Amino acid sequence: MLYCPVRHHPFVNYDDGAYVTRNDHVKAGLNRQSIEWAMTSYDAANWHPVTWLSHIVDYQLFKDNAGAHHDVNLLLHVANVLVLFWVLYRSTGYAGRSAMVAALFALHPVNVESVAWIAERKNLLSMLFFLLTLGAWGCYARKPKTSRYLVVMAVFALGLMSKPQVVTLPFVLLLWDYWPLRRIALRASPLALRQNNRGEISGEKRIASGEWRGLLEEKIPLFAMSVAGAIMTMKAQASGGGFNPDYTLFQRLENAVVSYARYIGEALWPSHLALMYPHPGSSLKTWQAGLALLLLIVISVFVVRWREQRYLSVGWLWFLGTLVPMIGLIQVGRQAMADRYAYLPLVGLFIMVTWGVADFAQERHLSGVPLWLPACVILLALSAVSYRQLSYWSDDVTLWTHTIQITNGNYAAENELADALDGLGKTQEAHQHFLRALAINPNYPPALMYLAVHDQREGKLREAITRYQRVIAITTDNPAYRNKVVRASAFANAGHAFRDLGDIIQARDYLKAAVALDSNRFEPWLDYGIVSQQLGDLTTAIHAYYQSVSLHPTDVGYLLLAQALNQDAHPVEAKWAEQKAKDLTRDYPGARQAAARMLAH
């Protein structure tokens, strides 16, 4: 099978850590606390509890076995292919056409990213519930009942809680009413009657021309759910620093128009596909946006000209509409576009092409064999390209090297390649790529953080502190990089560097800021306790040590706590803390020496 190699691929170093391998909530398994976290968390600048629960269950079952996580993604993609076929066939009665659309969706190289990237589970899940909602709507349209409408709402809610990109679904349902359900009878025509070949919808309630109001009112609860989903997304993105204000409205409009054209190009000729396409910003030429806009206008005019072929209007508006949340009018992140964003929208183009070619052949009385031969050739070609695209996901170095080779000015890819090389112990190569990332974008916090850590390891503490302070300033002042976890890490690392320099006052101030920003890491609490104890503030020190050992019990942490409790005249509690340290270590004298060195430093 085409995607079988993916089960031998590892986790990638981009988002898979945040979603699985470094996420303590996910790794805790399915319990009351993890469920509560999944339902309320804005982690990764998204609110998608169904996706989090999926990862939590996976980790409980498979732990760090990346192949098993990939298998689940692949099974979801297969499910999407089958449900897409079922929805189209049940709604139109055309088995061959429905199968071709499903095959294009299954094999197209643009969709490799959504399947091969574990962190994109949200894309697969939201698509599954999107398609199931379409199917449920078809059942409701045939025989409207409250119970069936409630099923539509329930499945739609699951889609929104998987990834909020499906907020456009109520609009798609209006299109679905127009075609293939044909609940909107704009005018009767022989062509329309011929296309409705199964006769399934003959008993449905038909809405006369102009009676759109009834269809809109019918979907008010679904529109309300979309609005609620959009609000939750805006809050999540704002809390996670997802919005990027670096680009003007005109730049975003230009990029949106060009991206639409690029998505069409990728659908027809899928080459030079990358995990990340840098936003062009002001470098985008006006003539490029003009040509892209002209292309969109020409296709739109063609669709209007042939409006009796309703699938053309539906497919085109499906493509345009479902891309709106991801097209960059409200810029999230630093990418111009992303292959994963096309997973749902390209279905609209597949419908246009498949039904258009089939109708063309039918009107000219062409036999089935000449039509299926080029279809098979196309599918084989797509499979070959997808197989090659999948090979780039075999490891981080290959993935990011390929991305850098086919994109320009990609500082994020340079940074991720450097991180991958550093993880393999190739520090010199990694250092060069971090420097390249900063040469492209001098204000990129991840690269600055790495170089600061590198300086700190080399004993260049002043240089490291300067870089940390720069990270703090950038993540405070620039909303595009406003990330409290990164800022907290910079404060914590700078505090540790100040402590190593003997500047205890500055160390305390920085560490206090670190734990205020992110209270979920035990190391800053431990350091904060040490500098507080060194300054004679035993109350703060004891509180900090308690916080540290509650997050991550260590022998040294409990010994430091015991010493502070003894100094503060709490012998019973001190004895308890010392016993906890003994229970945690096989080298008690060594642990005592380590704790003493940390305090004396």
pLDDT of residue 362: 86
H/E stretch holding 220: helix 220-239
CB 480 within 8 A of CB 244: yes
SS3 335: strand
Domain with CATH 1.25.40.10 in the chain: 522-601
User: 407 CB contacts (<8 Å, ≥6 apart)?
Assistant: 274, 276, 277, 278, 413
pLDDT of residue 233: 83
Sequence-separated contacts (24+) of 372-378 with Cβ below 8 Å: 375/100
pLDDT of residue 239: 65
Residue 469 CB neighbours (<10 A): 15
pLDDT of residue 200: 38
Distance CA 502, CA 506 (A): 9
Looking from the CA of 494 toward its CB, the CA atoms found within 13 Å total 28
Q: What is the 3-state secondary structure (H, E, C) of 141-189?
A: HHCCCHHHHHHHHHHHHHHHCCCHHHHHHHHHHHHHHHCCCCCEECCCC
Domain at 522-601: CATH code: 1.25.40.10
Is residue 553 reached through a cis peptide bond, with omega within 30 degrees of 0 on the bond before it? no
Rounded to 10 degrees, the C-alpha dihedral 518/523/526/532 comes to -60
User: 330 CB contacts (<8 Å, ≥6 apart)?
Assistant: 243, 252
The one-letter code for the residue type at 172 is V
What region, left, alpha or beta, does residue 409 occupy, with left being phi > 0 and alpha being psi -120 to 50 degrees? left
pLDDT of residue 213: 83
Radius of gyration in angstroms for the set of CA atoms belonging to the chain, rounded to a whole number: 28
Using CA atoms, how far residue 280 sits from 198, 246, 336, in Å, is: 49, 11, 7
H/E stretch holding 208: strand 207-208
Here the tokens at position 374 are: 């080029």
pLDDT of residue 24: 87
- Bridge partners (DSSP) listed for residue 337: 277
Using CA atoms, how far residue 16 sits from 26, 55, 319, in Å, is: 12, 10, 28
Distance CA 322, CA 330 (A): 15
What stretches in the chain show pLDDT beneath 70? 185-211, 239-245, 367-369, 479-480
User: 379 CB contacts (<8 Å, ≥6 apart)?
Assistant: 103, 104, 107
Find the farthest-apart pair of alpha carbons in the chain and give their distance in angstroms, rounded: 97
